[in-house]
């Protein structure tokens, strides 16, 4: 019997496993947030990095900052939705640095819209950047890698919206789900060229821009409009009093949000020799947010809460005039949501249902008095259960209400139907 020709190679020295010395990487959307942190990590690991962005000022800022720190970086203005731009970037990297070894498809857009509010413009914009743009960047990069004959890495940044239903992000979720299919298909097709294709899926990630927007209210005001001063105050107070961290500890098993470096570290791992035998996989970096664990419920109540919802209404019967069905359009951070309230009143007890996003939720702890009404309901979300409080007053055929969520309060009106 002949001796086997297989032998176990000597392990690579540990200090070399995360090194990207001599590698050239292309990172799309590299001027802020997760993309900028990926560029920084790659530079730190020794790579030469070509990164893209739409704004010249942002490109210059990142390039100057990392060059001053000793990095080899080159910013290129490009729009990932334009195939000619993706080809231009890959060709430029090869011409300027001789080869391309790593591509990270990070650039993305995520306009919010439900299925019924979807427009062709929103759908096309999302898929042009998040799916078509990422695919052709990967295709052109793979062609350059095959021509060089040294293998390579392609890493696509996905989203938890690709794997869990998030109706207001229907186009974004569908586009990222498509990119996951592309990731697996290209991993299979390109394996013979030693090109490894993988994905990283971030959970809720707090970038500097998002923290700033939460602090000054711009993010919420942009989505909800200007009539949200109470929400602004609550968000500002939550940030100053660390209540925001308390909320995140309830929705995230690890007790904190994700930060750009959490994602960049996973990308660096897949780009390095640490992951030399990994292809066609997705690493979810979300602190456990997508775990199906009922104990991680979103609820801002505590034993010292002074919230009057469903507990401190004065005595007296509202009578049957509140009974009926009311339809409201509520402006949320995820876009306008149509919500239907069905009320039943017996003495001071309010029961019924709340219907939103194709789901129906039972009203709990409902009270109806001469001073108004209040109730709560439990809404299931991809990252747990959220307790929502509503209180309001009847005004003819309208209900004037305030909806309290873990992120603040939202005023709305409902019309009897």
Cα–Cα distance measured from residue 169 to residue 158, given in angstroms and rounded to the nearest whole number: 13
Residues 6+ apart with CB under 8 A from 67: 73
Closest CA to 156 of 141, 144, 169: 141
Task: Check: CB of residue 112 under 8 Å from CB of residue 159.
Answer: no
Catalytic residue among 172, 259, 326, 377: 172
Q: Which of 332, 365, 366 is nearest to 350 (CA)?
A: 366
- Order of strands, sheet of 48-53, starting from the edge strand that comes earlier in the sequence: 72-77, 48-53, 24-27, 102-105, 152-157, 195-202, 282-285
Instruction: Decide: 25 and 102 in contact? Cβ < 8 Å.
Output: yes
Strand, coil or helix: 120:
helix
C-alpha radius of gyration, the chain, whole number: 26
The 8-class DSSP code of residue 207 comes to -
Q: Residues 201-213, buried b or exposed e (16+ Cβ, 10 A)?
A: bbbebbbeeeeeb
- 3-state SS assignment for residue 282: strand
How far, rounded to the nearest angstrom, does the alpha carbon of residue 267 sit from its chain's CA centroid?
A: 17
Report the run of H or E that residue 389 belongs to, with start and end: strand 384-395
Find all residues with CB under 8 Å of 3, minimum gap 6, and list them.
none
Active site residue 172: yes
Kindly report the CA angle at 318 between 312 and 323, in degrees rounded to 5?
A: 115
Q: Give the span between the Cα atoms of 228 and 222, in whole angstroms.
A: 10
Q: Which residue is it, tokens 């009539």?
A: 227
Residues in the chain: 417
CA distances from 168 to 88, 192, 239, 327 (A): 34, 40, 26, 18
Write the DSSP symbol of residue 400. E
Active-site annotation, residues: 172
């Amino acid at each position: 019997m002949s001796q086997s020709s297989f032998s176990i190679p000597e392990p690579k020295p540990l200090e070399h496993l995360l090194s990207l010395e001599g590698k050239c990487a292309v990172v799309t959307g590299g001027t802020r947030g997760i993309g900028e942190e990926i560029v920084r990590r790659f530079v730190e690991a020794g790579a030469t990095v070509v990164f893209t962005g739409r704004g010249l000022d942002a490109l210059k800022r990142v390039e100057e900052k990392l060059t001053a720190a000793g990095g080899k970086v080159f910013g290129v203005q490009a729009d990932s939705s334009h195939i000619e731009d993706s080809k231009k970037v890959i060709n430029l990297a090869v011409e300027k640095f001789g080869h391309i070894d790593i591509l990270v498809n990070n650039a993305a857009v995520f306009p919010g819209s439900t299925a019924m509010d979807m427009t062709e413009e929103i759908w096309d914009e999302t898929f042009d950047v998040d799916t078509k743009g990422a695919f052709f960047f990967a295709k052109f990069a793979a062609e350059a890698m095959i021509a060089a004959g040294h293998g390579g890495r392609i890493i696509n940044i996905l989203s938890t919206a690709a794997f869990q239903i998030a109706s207001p992000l229907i186009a974004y979720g569908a586009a990222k789900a498509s990119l996951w299919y592309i990731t697996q298909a290209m991993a299979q097709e390109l394996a013979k060229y030693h090109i490894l294709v993988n994905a990283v899926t971030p959970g809720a990630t707090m970038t500097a821009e998002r923290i700033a927007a939460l602090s000054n209210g711009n993010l919420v005001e942009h989505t909800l409009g200007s009539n949200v001063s109470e929400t602004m105050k609550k968000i500002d107070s939550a940030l100053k009093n660390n209540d925001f961290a308390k909320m995140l500890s309830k929705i995230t098993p690890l007790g904190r949000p994700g930060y750009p470096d959490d994602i960049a570290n996973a990308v660096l791992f897949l780009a390095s020799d640490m992951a030399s035998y990994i292809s066609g996989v997705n690493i979810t970096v979300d602190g456990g947010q997508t775990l199906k664990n009922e104990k991680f419920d979103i609820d801002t109540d505590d034993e010292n809460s002074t919230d009057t919802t469903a507990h401190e209404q004065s005595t007296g019967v509202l009578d049957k005039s509140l009974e009926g069905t009311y339809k409201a359009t509520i402006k949320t951070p995820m876009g306008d949501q149509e919500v239907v309230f069905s009320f039943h009143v017996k003495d001071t007890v309010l029961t019924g249902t709340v219907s939103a996003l194709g789901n129906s939720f039972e009203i709990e702890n409902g009270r109806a008095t001469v001073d108004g009404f209040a109730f709560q309901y439990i809404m299931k979300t991809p990252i747990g259960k959220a307790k929502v409080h509503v209180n309001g007053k009847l005004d003819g055929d309208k209900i004037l209400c305030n909806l309290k969520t873990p992120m603040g309060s939202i005023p709305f009106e409902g019309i009897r139907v």
